[in-house]
């Protein structure tokens, strides 16, 4: 596992998973860039893919296998920006994205900003770079699947906050 630069230890949380990241790493380039986002659905809201985004961290068994693959692809491209880590910038970004039946990323946008453009940009870029995703199984969605997730950027000893 790469070591963080400058003695900064970075903890990233995606859909209730904790990772140790490298704040000096750079995301893989994507061609062409597609607008993307990840967000968390409010508790108690509908989880039907037809009318609302499904939280990436849902406990609904019909989504578990597919969402696990999506989470892993996003985690593989998601990093804590070195500039943000060095400046102590923390925060939480909510992104919503749409996956077509064939796995293409149709759209993505920041639904709720962290207040720090760099964190918002890196969250969006992680989703864009992770695409394409596996084709969406019929038991998960009959058409486009709308997913919501939360990216949390937390430094050791700190709670998510934005500078």
Domain architecture of the chain: domains with CATH: 35-154 (3.30.1150)
Per-residue pLDDT of the chain (163 residues; tens, 9 = 90+): 444 444 444 444 454 333 333 344 444 433 333 333 333 333 444 444 445 899 999 999 999 999 999 999 999 999 999 999 999 999 999 999 999 999 999 999 999 999 999 999 999 999 999 999 999 999 999 999 999 999 999 998 765 544 3
Cβ of 142: how many Cβ atoms within 10 Å? Answer: 11
Ramachandran class of 39: left when φ > 0, alpha when ψ lies in -120 to 50, beta otherwise: beta
Cβ neighbours, 10 Å, residue 7? 6
Q: What is the DSSP letter of 132?
A: S
Interatomic CA distance for residues 42 and 150, integer angstroms: 11
Residue linked to tokens 């870029």: 125
Cα Dmax for the chain:
48
Q: Which two tokens stand for residue 55?
A: 């939280």
């Amino acid at each position: 596992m790469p070591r963080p630069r400058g003695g900064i230890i970075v903890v990233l949380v995606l859909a209730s998973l904790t990772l140790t990241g490298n704040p000096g790493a750079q995301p893989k380039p994507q061609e062409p860039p597609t607008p993307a986002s990840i967000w968390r659905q409010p508790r108690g809201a509908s989880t039907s893919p037809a009318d609302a985004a499904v939280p990436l961290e849902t406990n609904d068994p019909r989504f578990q296998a597919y969402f696990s693959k999506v989470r892993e692809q996003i985690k593989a491209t998601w990093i804590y920006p070195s500039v943000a880590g060095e400046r102590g910038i923390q925060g939480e970004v909510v992104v919503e994205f749409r996956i077509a039946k064939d796995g293409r990323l149709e759209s993505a946008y920041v639904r709720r900003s962290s207040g720090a453009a760099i964190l918002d940009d890196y969250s969006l870029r992680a989703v864009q770079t992770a695409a394409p995703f596996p084709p969406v199984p019929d038991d998960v969605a009959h058409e486009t699947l709308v997913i919501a997730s939360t990216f949390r950027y937390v430094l050791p000893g700190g709670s998510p906050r934005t500078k």
